[in-house]
Amino acid sequence: MQLARVIGTVVATIKNESLAGRKLLVIQSLNKDLNPQGKPLVAVDSVGAGVGELVFWCRGKEASFPFKRDDTPTDCTIVGIVDSNAHVTQG
């Protein structure tokens, strides 16, 4: 799992049937100091995250674990919301 900040939403007029009712969010991966790293990604939201929140996300086959794996085509999924970043920052 990695840390990211939710920076936006995605609206899809057509998407795979198994993604119906699921939010697609734009996330920005963060380093250990909570600074942006890499390019933003689109992630399926499995936890009810919103814009501005600090989240955990995963890629690869683990990204489908919160869902019925055979039916959910995802390679990037938000799997947790960080309720406080006090323990994350090195400050």
Q: What percent of the chain has pLDDT over 90?
A: 51
At residue 71 the predicted structure's pLDDT band, cuts being 50, 70 and 90, is low
At residue 22 the predicted structure's pLDDT band, cuts being 50, 70 and 90, is confident
User: Which pLDDT value is given to residue 26?
Assistant: 98
At residue 10 the predicted structure's pLDDT band, cuts being 50, 70 and 90, is very high
User: What is the rounded average pLDDT of the residues 13-40?
Assistant: 91
Count of Cβ atoms closer than 10 Å to residue 59 Cβ: 14
Distance of alpha carbon 46 from alpha carbon 60, whole angstroms: 15
Distance of alpha carbon 51 from alpha carbon 27, whole angstroms: 9
pTM of the predicted protein model:
0.84
Q: Residue 17: what residue type?
A: E
Which residues, at least 6 apart from 9, have a Cβ–Cβ distance to it below 8 Å?
23, 24, 25, 26, 51
Here the tokens at position 75 are: 């390679």
